[in-house]
Structure 1
């Protein structure tokens, strides 16, 4: 039991360090602003957001595992 606990503790520490190293600073991270079935709808809302001043730039990213476009701004 002591060996299992030691291995689990090591795994948790490695996972925590790897998540900290891979984290993106909050200022550079894009925020999820919408989820769309059609690329054209994602583009329309992205352009609307730029025109309204909600964000400066956006990107529509296809996620095949979900089968949706994600709008990041």
Structure 2
């Protein structure tokens, strides 16, 4: 379960970065739309972090660190 949690979070991050790059190329001229999109990105990333904490993802990552290498 822990690995699924970490992988899903990294996939969401990758999708968000790709979307940001795509939107930057299309809406680079319209600063207002860019700022609104940046605000939405911040809200979405904050919500993802909240979900990760509520699902206790951080605890599972800490458990991975405790395993002997």
Give the TM-score, by structure 2 length: 0.38
Higher relative contact order (CA 8 A, sep 6+): 2
Give the TM-score, by structure 1 length: 0.36
Structure with a larger share of its residues in helix: 2
Structure with a larger share of its residues in strand: 1
Q: Larger radius of gyration, structure 1 or 2?
A: 1
